[in-house]
Every structure is written in structure tokens, then in C-alpha cells.
Chain A
């Protein structure tokens, strides 16, 4: 009797155990393992990864809004109204510390994007090229290189001294070109600013070579959406004009810009995606957001919104929290040459006593696309480089400047293109779009006073002028050295 029971129980135990052992190694139900090249196992997974790189870049913490916000509010065009330290208040007051949320988060998101690009490039070499074929693989890798370059540029813009300071010999950021996927020792000293710029140019040159000249829906019909939300040849070239301008390499700006700007008005890109100014600037900020002026934008949909406290409209428009409003006493707002009839003033709307910017008009969940780069910037980049090379009477420079002005204000015509007038045009044209700080930095200009915040001199590039490096990087990267 006893034996029988023991045997029955024993059998029950053994059978139940043997049936269940595979449960110790469960399959992932909602994600893809990173082992054995699983993310590169099918063409659709690889394409999804390409979109994933843009999504990382387009995070609300980065190009999806906050990068532009930080660049704009660090300068003098805005007054903070909420004193909220998680929505760029310290950037506005120039009091960020290494542990300020914006300093930590932008750094982390840039490098997360860079690592995704690195992992993708590595994985394409090992697994992916064989799956999609080398032609497609080249395109994809070019997109990764473009996004990596843009991310490194953003880091230099916020965390480092200008290239003009000792030709970039100052400390830059850690330069990482190999993907990291597991626990390991990742201490790495920063490269110099010049070395990081060199890598950006290397990536953009490679991307220019690798990328398709345009995306098509069918045959030769341009796919306007893809051409706005994905990088193609001209996207890479356009970014080079921004990068070379930041480096003060005027000849290179001209060389690159000439590839995508015709010699005379109306200025357009002669090859690839035909970049051109829109007749009305308002069209750029309207659905479907895919004009040929939009070189690159971050798209949003109701299922992929910029997220809380990230959206441009949430900061600059009154449709959200209204974190910032226009500084009525800034140089921009007191500029007598900015005509009252200028179409760009149409974006400035009184909301009570405050003036807000309505380029991004939609309220929560803020589905207006976030501009990363517009064609008018390329035109002004080229103009500025030409004036630096040839002086304010450069004919093409004058034409370029007038092209941007006339589009919004046909009544004002520049006879000469002084650098000051080009800077001012940029200030007017890109209000809210995140170029103002980059301009101050590369030109070595102090940050003007605003509201109750004093002017910040360039001085020794201390942390009130440029951002300090991420506190987490300083703590966990023993070789960072700053």
C-alpha cells in the first residue's frame, strides 16, 4: 500500500516536472531578442530598424522638440513664464548644472541615438547586408551615418566650446563608432571638438555617397513624405552647410551649398529632391508638412506624439502650458527694419498681455511636425559664407538674402548683404526653430540679457555660457576628465 502511493506520487512528480522544463526558457512575447542577429533576420525588421533610428533622433527629448527649445530659449527671444526647472527654466536663466534634467536627458538621448546607429551599422555588416542586398544596405547605412552625424553635431552645439576657439582643440565629447549592447567597461576620454567635427564630416560625406538621391512612391513620383522624414543625398549636403558654417569654413559651405542651390533665383536644388522656398512660409508649418522646403522634419501622429513637456507648441504657443512667451524688448522684437507686414509676424499672436509663437498651432497631443532643417537656412548659410569670402556686395549673397526676405516681405529689399543683416534674417526666419544659440556660439557672441536674466559674456566659456557635461557621464566615465 505504502509503496503504491509512493510510486504514484513519484510518477506524478516526475511527469509534472519534465513537462514544464521548457518554461524556464520562455520566448519573448512582445519584443525581439538581440541575440544571433535576430533583429536583422528579415528585410522588414531591418527597415523597421532604420525607422527606429529616426524615431530615436525624433524623440521629444531631442529633435522632436527639446533640442530646438533649448537652443532658442538659451538666447534672448523668450521670457520664461513657469519657472519650471524641468521645462528649460535653468537653460533660460543660464543656471544649468551637470545634473539639470535637460543636461542629463539631451546627452543621454543623443548617445542613445548614436549607439543605435552604431549597432545598426555593425549589424548590417555582420547579418543585414546579406538579407537586403548590398544596394539597399548602402542606403540604410547612409541614413544611420547621417543620423549619427546630426547627433554628434547636437552634442557639440550644446556641450562644447565653439570650433572657433583654438580651432577645435578644446575638449569635445566621447567619440563612439562601435555599437554597445551588453555590460562592459565603457570608460572613454573625450575627443577634441575638431576630432568630433571631422567625424561628422566623414559621416556626412559617406552618407552623401551612400544615400539615394530621392525616395519615390512609384517610378519617378517623388515620395514627399519620405523625402521629409528620411535622409537622402541633399539632406546630407544641407547638413554639411550647417556644420561647415559652425566651423567657419566658408569655402566648404559654398562648395556644399552649390550642390543644392542654383546659381540664381529662384533658388532650388538642381539635382535630387528639388528643394525650394515655398511661396508662403505658413505652408511649411501646415499639414501635410512635406513641402520641398522641409529638408528634414520629425513627424508626429496620434500614436507617436512628442510626449509631455516636449512639444514646441507646448513651450512657445498658448495651446499648451505656455512655458515661454516672446521677449518684447529683445533685439528681434525692437528691430525697426522688420516690417509690420512681414508674413513671419503672422506667427506672433497676442495671448492676453503676452505674445506667443504659433508656428506650431496644434494643442495637446501636439501633432505638428518638428522642423529639424529648412531650405531657407541653406540659402542663408550660403549667403553668410559668400559674404565672409567676398564681402557684403556679393551678388548671389544679396539675392539669397532677398529671396528669404521677399518671400515674407516683398516690400523690403537689401542692397547689400551685411553679416548683421544675415544674422538678423536668421533670427526672424528661424524664431523657435532652434538656431539662435548655435549662431551665438559659433560667432562667439555673448548671450543678451532678457527679462531679469543678465547678459552672459562669452568669457571663459564657463557653465553659464555653454552647458556643462552630463553629471552622469562625469560620474560613470572615469576617463572623461572634465
Chain B
């Protein structure tokens, strides 16, 4: 496509040309240096003249030129060659240019010459994303582009990463960017209703990605109007190239291991600690934790991590065929992937097919189509406790692996599951006076299912007409159809009820199907014209998009026969489950005008008018303009005069302003006030179900950008520096009315504002290039400051809870989105072993738990009760004493990538880092809780005798305040700054001469390590964590989350 456009532009030049010199005919062949194959479509121009031609499908060309003239060979993806004419035959071999990005870049609804661009656009090559053990390309984007933050929230396979471009742009809507794949806006987010992730974007095989453009500023994104505020990611998949069919096969296998798991007490330590705590609580008469005895007669010492975790094994293979003739090109690929997670039974199985074809029927008409289909199984036995909303699941595997007592075993000595016969929770064996409601993970892992299957079909067809060389008319119709099926089953073995000695199973099954169907119809007209030094390009377009969702399903409970485990079996109860129905619609008109004068001064303006069904009846339409300009200073005479050209081969100043909107994540009927129906003893009911707002409109983002791009030493070093400020107004907040107002839901209101401002720096360098050794490096860093400037009038802050339980985040005017909301403390009193909290006034409040009663006292030794102003007993609480502890979203993110080539060896080393943020390690509260829960070994440093300086207070059985379970505390909060050795990829390419004999073009073998090392002071498994998924307002919470594993893979890629 790009090539096509480029060639047509050359044709344009040819037509405009009238110069004709005294010449002779020169013929030759252009080949590819690497594999020696013919290279079609290479543009061959005579330097200084406007005459030129192209190589044909066999790489041959004919041109008329005079001796001494210089022929310039250019082709996208290859280094430009200049050859002085000396004979009548010129054969050239063109060297592929992997280090330089192509001259044409994809922009909204079209392509643009790189030099014309005035927007802030980052490019990532598809080849940077492959050979990695990922389930979706987003996971591989971390550290690859300035201003892009990718955080992988947990190690549950195929979970969508947190994807922020230039900070958090919203509070209640999504802050994830718009993803456009080959012109079609893709579904994004998690479509799994099971316990593994179901990222919609896993349908894009990284091996199929040609290029990714990340549009960051308004000049680039305003063409997407109401959807551009969070940035736009344009994905261009591979197309065929003219020439013989190239078959490539890429295959790897890998192993993922759990990494940096906390150390917990063994059975002896556990029993000693809890016995001490029970004695301190005065409960020794009624309560005891004691050794169990296993089948060998030894004391039980269960490592629950071994029950839950495993080494995940993964295989991945992609095969593709591409090629084409003068008129027709094609690309087809197939992927098969089977990846195991670090949690037992967690699995990602993928099969996908992609096919595209482009056909140039004649000079005017080009048609093409693309079709891709994915079948994706996201398998899990039961909850990991790591997906959003699950942090406190009593069956969350990540939590159970840490807190279950090591003196209990998963199985009884007779081989049966260790279960409490009264309620199906884990059995307490020989323990006395201890009641445990947590489940035995061995049962769920063996018998439960929480599986999801996604079938995802994406396709488009287009017709392009070029009635005149400078006019391009294009109509594209695309579909994105995603079907998700969930299959959940909860076994009868540990789900039952007992009544009067009669056991009834409480097995249940859930199944539902949801269909998400989107069509997009784009019509664009592009006009490109040059007048002398003036070059104009005008785009006009219309877009319509509609998305329909439909879902239905059922849940059944109480199995007729406990031997069954499918929903189609007999059950006592049936209910509906997972019903949904809705439709939205977007209609838009847009335009873009690019102008450049002498390739020195550049101007771009865009406008878009969007109408969207989600908005209030009074606010259906929005208008989104942008303007940007660029100045290539190296083209100015004074630049040479001051000698700057000796250093800078290019230097372009850029500035832009624009207004874009955000509606990502807004419900299809969000503006409606509704009554919904349910049942009351079988009678239909009707009751208020949603609070409406006819004035509901887009969140508006005004983006200002100033920056410059530069090249040094003939572009051997290229870089860009940018400053931006993004003012977001009209934030859609769920207006928290007093609950006594009784509204069915909090109304969505455009109120509140915030800004992001920051600096981005990106540097690419060919550090070393001498024959056999090359070293290319990329370094990028971005600093972002996020500040909430207003929320709701009269309300200074809004708090947010993790999984509906613990409030750990606050949005406060003057703070950042999702700051941590933490109570402060002052260590442990050496005299009494009491935890010392600080109240709002900063005074020390000592906390004592005696096993029966809680005391908060002022002053040591329990002397003065902690009283309110009114003189009543008081307690430390988060509402009264908590404070905004700081930002949980990193202020600085970036990456440092190095690629080395030595002879046939190559190595890529990628570091990623995130700095300037806090993480609330809530899991550590779990790990020091003085109920029956097992503890981390850090608890061994606890107070036992007066005068002792200890990290943890006196242990008292039942105490869940001193450790921070009752409210988030600073002693469980850490800086999250980290530097990760994200990937190391080491490859060896087999020598060509060896392969050519057997008809193979190239073979490369490689090994890759991912998440190899992390340098951080954060004590948890992984500072790159998010218990609450991609939610904006609850970042930086690590509550029972399963951290990322460490992966080693080995593979090969083969071309023939």
C-alpha cells in the first residue's frame, strides 16, 4: 500500500516532467543484497532531473540517461543508492535498511511523508514485538516508545496491560488509547468472563504486524475527534510484496517460572508464632495450632505455593506466505500458540489465520480485502484473585498460596481432600478453636473450570479510485466481530450445605455467550497537488461506526448427580446469567489539510465533527479542530552560515494545538434515566435503575505540543524532544450524591478537570557500525505530571476501593489521579510492643489488642484513652486520619534498547524502567495478619520483650489492625521505582552459502529471556502490578496479586 502510494507519487512527478536530455538507454537489474532475489518497485531517478522509472517484477529496469549522470535508487525499507552512469548496464544490489524507519508513515485515514509530519508520532516496528512470550502485542510494547506506559498488571495469561499514552487522561472513563487496525477501530479490553484474561487484541499476531504508529498529540489524533484524547495506536499489518512467494516459519518454546514470591513461615515457625500470639491473646485454653501428621508419620509442612504455582510451558508457531505479481499481492499467515501460566491450569491457546490481498485492476481502480479469524481459549480452573474486583476472593489462588497454614495439608492421609465437613472450607485438622473459611485450592484446581473462548473475526474490503493522479477516492467497509463464550463450573466436592446432617451439594455452573459486532464504513477523498514550491494535500472523509452487543446465558445450581460437571446436566435451579443487549452509533465528517512550502515550512489542520448515540439528547454532536506547524531549520541558509549543518543533518521545530474528546468506556445508554424490571415473588417489578443526564457530553482534551526532531551525523543519531500540556475538562464523573438522596445510580456528569504535562525524549543511534560489528541503541524517557484541578464543587476528594472492600486510593484536587490514601504510623513502641499510629494531627496513638478488646491510647503504656473533642473513646480511622500519600502512577517511564550484531550473531537487550511512584503492598498486610493466616518470614522480627526495637509489634492472635489489614498504612507502602531487564534476545543466523544449496533463504535461531531481573526496593513480587486492572483511579495496589513470572524461550525463524 505504502509502496503503491509512493510509486504513484513518482508517476505524478513523471507526468509533470518535461525535461528531456540527450541520452542513451540503460538497462539493469535490481536485487536484494541479503538474499539476492529480484527487487521490484524500486524507483530509479536521475539526480537533478525529474526523469525516472521503476524496476519491474523481475527487478529489471530500463532508463534513458547520459553518461556522468547519477542514478538514484530508492525503495522503502532499503538504503538509497547513487550510481554514476558509466555503461549501458547497471546491476545493483540494495541493502535493507532496518535501522531507518520508512519514509512513509501511517496517519489517521491515510499515509503521510515522514518529513511532512508535524505531529508527535512514535513508530514501533513489528519486528520489535516478535519472538516474545506474550499473548498480545501490547505486552511487548513496554519501553519501546517515549510517552507510552505499559504495565502488565499480573501474570494471569492474556490480561490486558495498562496502556497509557502520556499519563492518565480520565478518571471514570477509560484512559486506554484507541486501537485502529488497518483502518478499523478494534475492540479492546477484556472479553473473558472466566478467570483467565481475554484481551480482544490477542487476535493480532505480533508476527503479522508490519508497523505501529502511536499518535500522541492533537495534531495527529484530532482526526479521530471524540475518540482521540487518549492517543491513537495505528496498527498496520503485513502485506505481500511483489516477487516470488516467501514462506517464513517462526517457532519458539518457552518456560515461565514464578518469580520473587514472598517467603512464608514453615509449619514449625507458624506453630511457634501462632502459639505465642494465642498465649498473648489469653486464648490458650480454647485455641491451639498444632502439627498434623502426614501419611509417613511426619509432621505436616505444606508449601502451599507448590499447590498453586507451576512452571508454565509455552509453544508458539507462525507460518506465513507472501508474494505477488505486478498487479496482485497477497499475505497469509497462520498462528498456533499454546502457553501455560505460572498458575496451575491457566492456559492460553490460540489459533489464528490472516489473509489479505490487494489487486490493482488498472490505473484507476485498486481493490483489496483482508480477513482474519482467531480462535482463542483462555483457560483457568479458578480465580487467581488477580483480576480486577477479585483481590479479596476467599478462593483467590495468589492469596491462598500465602495465607493457608502450613500445618494443614491439601489431602488427608487417606488421600481424600482435607475439607471441613460442615461447610466445605479447608479442614482445620488437629487445630483447636480456629475457624477457617478459606477454600482448599487443591479441590478447585482439580475440579473447577472458569474457561473462556473467544472467536474473533476481522475483515475489510476497500475500493480505491484514482480518476486523476492527484485524486484518490477510497471507500472501506470493515467488520470486527468478537464472540465470547464462558464456561464456569464449581464442583460439588467443596461446595455443599449441611442441614440436619443432610448434605446437599451446592455445585453450580455458569455459561454465557456474548456477541460484539462492529461495522465501520469510511469514505475518503484525498487530493494532492503541488504548485511550484507549494505542496497541498487535502483529505475529506465521512465515517460511520456502529457496535451491537448481545449476550445471554444461564446459571444452574445443585447438581442432580454430583458426577456431572457440565451445565447441560441436571440441576435443581436455573437462572439467567450474562444477558446484555445494546447498540451504539457514531457518525462523523472530517477533513485534513497539509501544506508545505519548499519542504521547509509545514502546516497541518484537521477538523472533525462527531455525532454519537451515547451522549445526552442535548449534546449529540461535538466539534474537534487542530492545527500544527513545522519548520525544517536545516533548509534555511543561516543554518549553514552558523555551521550548524556540520552537526545537525536535520532539525525540525514542531508545534501543535488541538481539541479532542474521550468517550472510551462510556456505556451505550449512559445518558438515559431508566427504570429496570425484575421480580417480586414472580410478579414483574419496575424500579429506578439508572440516573440520567441529558447534558452528558464528551470529555474534552485540549492538547498543546512543542518539540523538535533532529538528526546528527547524517542522521546516524536521530532524536526528538517534546513538551506537551494536555488540559482535560468536562471529565465525566460519577457524581457522588449523598446516599440519602436515594438515586438509583450516581449520575454521570461532565464536571471536573485535570491536566497532564510532560517532556519526552527519544534517541536512536547507530553507536557502532564497522563491517562485522554493529550496535544500535534506542533510549527513551518521558516525564509526566498529572494533576487534578477540580472535581465536584464542594467535594475535594473521592475515594476508591479495591474490589469493593479496602479503600486505598483517593482522587484529590491538587493530587494525581489514583493517589494512595494511607494512614501514617511511627513504628513499634519498644516499651510495650504496641503499634504506633499517627492521627490526623500527627500525634502518636498506641494500639493494643488484648485478644478481646481494642484500645487506642495516647501516650505509652496504655495510660490515656484516645478521646475525641467531645471526650468519647476514639479510634484511628482512615476517614479521619488517612492522607494523600502520593502518586501511584509513575512520573517517569521509559526504555533502553540495544541491538548488537557481530557477524552472524545478534543480541537485543531491553531495559524498561518506571520511576517516581508508590505501590501499596496490601499483600504484606495479609502476610503479617495475626489471625490464623500464615505470615511472611518478616514477622519473625516482632516484639517480645520490653526495650526491644522490632519491626513488628507484639503478636496477638486475632489482631488485624497492627499489621494494616483494617486500613492501608505507610508501613505497607513502598516506592515502586524499578529497572527491569525486560528482554534479552540472542540470535544466530546461519551462513547463507550453506542454506542457498538447500533452497532456504535464511535461518535464525534464538533464545529470549523475559523479566530476567528487576532492580527495585519494592519488596513484593513485582512493582509492575495492578490489582484493579486498567481502572484509572485505583492504580498501585498490590493486594493478593500474582506477580509476573520469568520466562525463557528458545526458537527459530526460517525463510524459504
Residues A253-305 near B (CB distance < 8 A): 299, 301-305
Chain A residues near B574 (CB-CB < 8 A): 302
B244 CB–A CB distance under 8 Å: no
A304 & B504 in contact (Cβ 8 Å cutoff): no
Chain A residues near B525 (CB-CB < 8 A): 6, 9
Contact of A20 among B468, B587, B737, B744 (CB under 8 A): B587
18 contacts between A and B (CB under 8 A): A5-B473, A16-B523, A16-B542, A29-B583, A30-B676, A82-B435, A107-B740, A119-B688, A180-B741, A183-B737, A304-B678, A318-B499, A362-B499, A364-B558, A452-B958, A462-B872, A475-B736, A476-B737
Chain B residues near A459 (CB-CB < 8 A): 872
B582 & A29 in contact (Cβ 8 Å cutoff): yes
**Docked complex Cα distance between A333 and B895 (Å):** 68
B residues neighboring A (CB under 8 Å): 281, 283, 421-423, 435, 437, 465, 467-468, 471, 473, 475, 496-500, 504, 506, 521, 523, 525, 542, 544, 546, 557-558, 573-576, 579, 581-585, 587, 611-613, 617, 620, 668-669, 672-693, 735-744, 747, 749, 794-795, 799, 804-805, 807, 851-854, 870-873, 875, 877-879, 931, 958, 960
B740 & A30 in contact (Cβ 8 Å cutoff): no
**Docked complex Cα distance between A32 and B687 (Å):** 9
- Minimum Cβ distance to chain A for residue B110 (Å): 16
> A114 — nearest CB in chain B belongs to which residue?
B742
A23 & B546 in contact (Cβ 8 Å cutoff): yes
Chain B residues near A299 (CB-CB < 8 A): 680-681
Segment of A95-103, A197-205, A231-239 engaged in the interface with chain B: A95-103
B675 & A34 in contact (Cβ 8 Å cutoff): yes
A331 CB–B CB distance under 8 Å: no
B613 & A53 in contact (Cβ 8 Å cutoff): no
**Docked complex Cα distance between A455 and B673 (Å):** 48
A115 & B742 in contact (Cβ 8 Å cutoff): yes
B680 & A476 in contact (Cβ 8 Å cutoff): no
Given known contacts A97-B879, A460-B872, A49 and B423 CB-to-CB distance under 8 angstroms: no
**Docked complex Cα distance between A180 and B736 (Å):** 14
Contact with B along A446-469 (1 / 0, CB 8 A): 000000111000011010100000
> B525 — nearest CB in chain A belongs to which residue?
A9
> A479 — nearest CB in chain B belongs to which residue?
B738
Segment of A67-75, A319-327, A336-344, A437-445 engaged in the interface with chain B: A319-327
Chain B residues near A173 (CB-CB < 8 A): 740
- Minimum Cβ distance to chain B for residue A234 (Å): 19
Chain A residues near B497 (CB-CB < 8 A): 318-320, 363-364
Segment of A54-62, A160-168, A384-392, A411-419 engaged in the interface with chain B: A54-62
A134 CB–B CB distance under 8 Å: no
> A350 — nearest CB in chain B belongs to which residue?
B501
Contact with B along A171-208 (1 / 0, CB 8 A): 00110100011111011100000000000000000000
**Docked complex Cα distance between A186 and B283 (Å):** 49
A125 CB–B CB distance under 8 Å: no
B669 & A28 in contact (Cβ 8 Å cutoff): yes
A residues neighboring B (CB under 8 Å): 1-2, 5-6, 9, 12-13, 16-17, 20-21, 23-26, 28-35, 38-39, 44-45, 47-49, 51-56, 58, 81-86, 95, 97-99, 101, 104, 107-108, 111-116, 118-119, 173-174, 176, 180-184, 186-188, 225, 229, 299, 301-305, 317-322, 349, 351-352, 354, 358, 361-365, 452-454, 459-460, 462, 464, 470-478, 480
A56 & B585 in contact (Cβ 8 Å cutoff): no
B587 & A452 in contact (Cβ 8 Å cutoff): no
Chain A residues near B521 (CB-CB < 8 A): 16
Given known contacts A304-B680, A349-B500, A322 and B422 CB-to-CB distance under 8 angstroms: yes
**Docked complex Cα distance between A172 and B633 (Å):** 73
**Docked complex Cα distance between A56 and B738 (Å):** 18
A24 & B685 in contact (Cβ 8 Å cutoff): no
Contact of B423 among A54, A304, A321 (CB under 8 A): A321
- Minimum Cβ distance to chain B for residue A356 (Å): 9
A29 & B581 in contact (Cβ 8 Å cutoff): yes
Chain A residues near B688 (CB-CB < 8 A): 34, 115-116, 119, 181
**Docked complex Cα distance between A173 and B742 (Å):** 13
B423 & A28 in contact (Cβ 8 Å cutoff): no
**Docked complex Cα distance between A116 and B747 (Å):** 16
> A48 — nearest CB in chain B belongs to which residue?
B686
Chain A residues near B685 (CB-CB < 8 A): 48-49, 51-52, 54-55
Given known contacts A112-B742, A352-B422, A477-B738, A17 and B542 CB-to-CB distance under 8 angstroms: yes
> A322 — nearest CB in chain B belongs to which residue?
B423
A98 & B877 in contact (Cβ 8 Å cutoff): yes
A86 & B687 in contact (Cβ 8 Å cutoff): no
A98 & B879 in contact (Cβ 8 Å cutoff): yes
Chain A residues near B581 (CB-CB < 8 A): 29-30
B877 & A97 in contact (Cβ 8 Å cutoff): yes
**Docked complex Cα distance between A180 and B741 (Å):** 6
**Docked complex Cα distance between A434 and B422 (Å):** 25
A51 & B739 in contact (Cβ 8 Å cutoff): no
B680 & A473 in contact (Cβ 8 Å cutoff): no
A12 & B523 in contact (Cβ 8 Å cutoff): yes
**Docked complex Cα distance between A32 and B423 (Å):** 42
**Docked complex Cα distance between A303 and B592 (Å):** 55
**Docked complex Cα distance between A207 and B719 (Å):** 77
Q: A321-B437, A462-B872, A476-B736 are in contact. List 19 more A-B contacts (CB 8 A).
A: A2-B471, A17-B542, A30-B581, A31-B672, A35-B673, A52-B678, A52-B687, A82-B437, A97-B877, A98-B879, A99-B879, A183-B691, A188-B740, A225-B681, A319-B499, A354-B422, A452-B281, A454-B853, A464-B873
Chain A residues near B741 (CB-CB < 8 A): 111, 115, 176, 180, 186
**Docked complex Cα distance between A351 and B736 (Å):** 45
Can you list the 10 inter-chain pairs with the closest CB atoms, starting with the nearest? A115-B742, A363-B497, A52-B687, A477-B738, A23-B585, A52-B685, A186-B741, A48-B686, A34-B673, A319-B497
A24 & B612 in contact (Cβ 8 Å cutoff): yes
A24 & B687 in contact (Cβ 8 Å cutoff): no
- Minimum Cβ distance to chain A for residue B456 (Å): 24
Chain A residues near B878 (CB-CB < 8 A): 99
Chain B residues near A452 (CB-CB < 8 A): 281, 283, 851-852, 958
A182 & B693 in contact (Cβ 8 Å cutoff): yes
The winner among B468, B581, B681 for most chain A CB atoms within 10 A is B681
**Docked complex Cα distance between A32 and B877 (Å):** 42
The winner among B465, B542, B675, B794 for most chain A CB atoms within 10 A is B675
Chain B residues near A82 (CB-CB < 8 A): 435, 437
A31 & B738 in contact (Cβ 8 Å cutoff): no
B672 & A33 in contact (Cβ 8 Å cutoff): yes
A363 & B587 in contact (Cβ 8 Å cutoff): no
B687 & A53 in contact (Cβ 8 Å cutoff): yes
Chain B residues near A364 (CB-CB < 8 A): 497, 506, 557-558
- Minimum Cβ distance to chain A for residue B682 (Å): 6
Contact of A319 among B283, B498, B546, B747 (CB under 8 A): B498
> A351 — nearest CB in chain B belongs to which residue?
B422
Chain A residues near B473 (CB-CB < 8 A): 5-6, 9
A49 & B467 in contact (Cβ 8 Å cutoff): no
Contact of B673 among A118, A182, A362 (CB under 8 A): A182
**Docked complex Cα distance between A31 and B749 (Å):** 21
Given known contacts A35-B673, A81-B435, A58 and B738 CB-to-CB distance under 8 angstroms: no
Contact of B795 among A47, A453, A476 (CB under 8 A): A476
Chain A residues near B684 (CB-CB < 8 A): 44, 48, 51
Chain A residues near B738 (CB-CB < 8 A): 174, 186-188, 472-473, 476-477, 480
Chain B residues near A35 (CB-CB < 8 A): 673, 692
Contact of B437 among A1, A84, A108 (CB under 8 A): A84
**Docked complex Cα distance between A140 and B322 (Å):** 72
Chain B residues near A361 (CB-CB < 8 A): 499-500
- Minimum Cβ distance to chain B for residue A132 (Å): 14
- Minimum Cβ distance to chain B for residue A432 (Å): 15
**Docked complex Cα distance between A84 and B394 (Å):** 10
**Docked complex Cα distance between A471 and B967 (Å):** 14
Chain A residues near B873 (CB-CB < 8 A): 462, 464
A55 & B739 in contact (Cβ 8 Å cutoff): no
